Amino acid sequence: MRSVLISGASVAGLSLAYWLRHHGFQPTLVERAPAPRSGGQAIDIRGTAREVVTRMGIMDTIRAHHTGTHGVAWLNEHGRRVAAMGGETFGDSGGIVAEIEILRGDLVRILHEAAGTDLDILYDNMITEIAEDGDGVAVTFDKGPARSFDLVVGADGLRSGVRALMFGQDKEFVHDLGYYTSYFPARTKLDLDGWEVMYNLPAGNGVGGRVALLYPLGDTGEVRVLLGFVSPELAYDRRDVQAQKKLLAEVFAGAGWEIPALLDQLGRTDDLYLARVGEVRVDRWHRGRTVLLGDSAFGGSLGMGTSLALVGAYVLAGELAAANGDHRVAFAQYDKEMRDYVTLNLKRPPGGSSGFAPRTRRGIWARNQFMRMLPHLPGGGAMMGGMQKAANSITLKPYAGTAQTADGARWTETA
């Protein structure tokens, strides 16, 4: 049984652990957080990734946790809806809202249960050194004794520690997109009726365009809040939640609509995620016995990060099984299988941060008018990036020990 250390116990890492166990490998995970992460923003499962979770046997459970959101609406400065797109707006071209949306924390819990609650997970820990020799990898941890493994996987996010240790610093691989996003839970008295709503503010308080987005969880009144803003890089302590709250309060001070009530609730929660948005560009996802997966390898897609992680985990584990554990063959084949699929899904719609958070009131008005007209324009689906086509642009191989049934939805063991 070959041992594999996975850095990161979120979607990519837990999915990989599931498939490695399925193929007879022994995964161990190391996670910086002190416990499984709950909450988080809503995430999409699109295209081929739906086939992956079906093959894992967890599709019904995931559907049972669907948030129920069915579209996005853009609001004007008075909080009135001026444009809207439902999940079916562009049909086969790819709706702006995925058929399946689930809270990140719910998906992580489901994946953990699928992979096995007896998984060896080193919480509140991190890798500090990786030393490879001909027979394996010696890994030193921030806490606890060093251990040896056959392979190491960096599934530890956009600012990957494994990538920094083995490939180079962030500045070599993370392309800055010029803005910040934050997420936290809150409640609202607005009747959102299953619609995600976006409210924009022009530049002010020392930053560029600003945006508040509310994501409803059914009809409970509970929402997930995104506050984003365009800005040069700012100095703040990523581990200091109070400093991050203060920063957001300063950026959105004086704002109208629901924002004062949201900031009040932000002040009373520690469930906050704030990060600078970037896109990861790595020419080769493997080096020796170490390989990258998920956001550490190809982070920065718009709405496809979870799906890329699920598909990548399936392919990486499958190629290791097909190569009988020979990482030199498996890692190269994983790159070959995934590269075009990833490239297609990293394409971003036109406008960039100016479309997400326009700098001026006129810019906000123009963006809203464009979104109102887009469903009626020839080629509107292509303008949105053809998400459905890109999301289905990879065909899953039937790896060792399994064979596909006629409907393509279930798996049966083969001799």
Q: Which residues are CB-neighbours of 248 under 8 A, at least 6 positions away?
A: 182, 227, 263, 266, 274
**E strands present in 69-134:** 71-75, 81-86, 100-103, 120-123, 127-132
Q: Is the pLDDT of residue 313 over 50?
A: yes
From 285, 289, 287, select the one nearest 313 (Cα to Cα): 285
Q: Where are the domains of the chain?
A: 3-68+103-172+280-348+387-413
Give the pLDDT confidence score for residue 414 in this predicted structure: 39
Q: What's the pLDDT tens digit per position in 370-387?
A: 888 887 777 655 555 467
Q: Which residues pair with 242 in a beta bridge?
A: none
Lowest mean pLDDT: which of 193-197, 302-306, 384-388, 408-412? 408-412
Task: Give pairs for 283-287: CB < 8 Å, separation 24+.
Answer: 284/335, 285/331, 285/334, 285/335, 285/338, 286/327, 286/331, 286/332, 286/334, 286/335, 287/166, 287/167
**d(C-alpha 275, C-alpha 179), whole Å:** 9
CATH of domain 3-68+103-172+280-348+387-413: 3.50.50.60
Q: Is the pLDDT of residue 131 over 90?
A: yes
CB 233 within 8 A of CB 247: no
Lowest mean pLDDT: which of 36-45, 58-67, 191-200, 307-316? 36-45
Lowest mean pLDDT: which of 78-92, 204-218, 229-243, 294-308? 78-92
Instruction: Give CA 201 to chain center in angstroms.
Output: 25
CB 261 within 8 A of CB 184: no
**d(C-alpha 310, C-alpha 301), whole Å:** 14
Q: Which residues pair with 227 in a beta bridge?
A: 182, 212
Q: Is the pLDDT of residue 410 over 50?
A: no
Q: What's the pLDDT tens digit per position in 42-81?
A: 888 999 999 999 999 999 999 999 888 888 999 999 999 9
What's the mean pLDDT in 85-112? 74
What's the mean pLDDT in 113-127? 96
CB 87 within 8 A of CB 100: no
